[in-house]
Amino acid sequence: MRLIVVLVVGVIALSAMVGAVNIFKPQKTLTAAVTKVSGKPGNLLQVSNSGEGTASKTWNCYVNVTDANGVPVSGASVILHGLGGAGSAVTDKKGVAYLSKTAGIKLNPNQDSGYMVLEVNAQGFYPYKNDNALAVVRVN
């Protein structure tokens, strides 16, 4: 009788461990890039300001998100922030996020350039972060 109880408990424990292992599937790597900013290709946003003072601008951009093999990742959460501004969106089936409702960014009077941070999260993937994803440059 004890042998049967030990055997049943062992089988239950083994099935629980196998089930737990299947839950923790390895995560994949993704990559992301700002591909278009305010209608212009690339990852450069120009802020015009004549004379001294704070320059600010409302902007929009496209971000492409793919896995390590170049396959688009849909449903990824995309956040672009920094320099007092921010925007967020979710990628479509083509792996593209359009950030359209974005807060204005600001360059201080003594600041001619800066960078915005891109963060991407998707289920089954490691989080992605690029501290220099969008360059912001003051032009006169």
Half-sphere exposure of 75 (CA within 13 A, CB side): 4
pTM equals 0.78
So what's the pLDDT on residue 50?
Answer: 57
Q: Give the pLDDT of residue 63.
A: 96
Q: What is the pLDDT of residue 19?
A: 59
Which residues of the chain fall short of a pLDDT of 50?
A: none
What's residue 68's pLDDT? 92
Q: Look up tokens 């350039």; give the residue.
A: 113
Q: How far apart are CA 57 and CA 52, in angstroms?
A: 15
Secondary structure letter of residue 39 according to DSSP: T
Q: Which of 119, 123, 124, 122 is nearest to 132 (CA)?
A: 119
3-state secondary structure of 21: helix
pLDDT of residue 140: 74
Residue indicated by tokens 């049943």 = 8
Report pLDDT for 118: 95
Amino acid (1-letter code) at residue 23: I
Domains of the chain from N-terminus onward: 27-139 (2.60.40.10)
Q: What pLDDT sits at residue 48?
A: 76
What residues contact 52, with CB distance under 8 A and at least 6 apart? Answer: 109
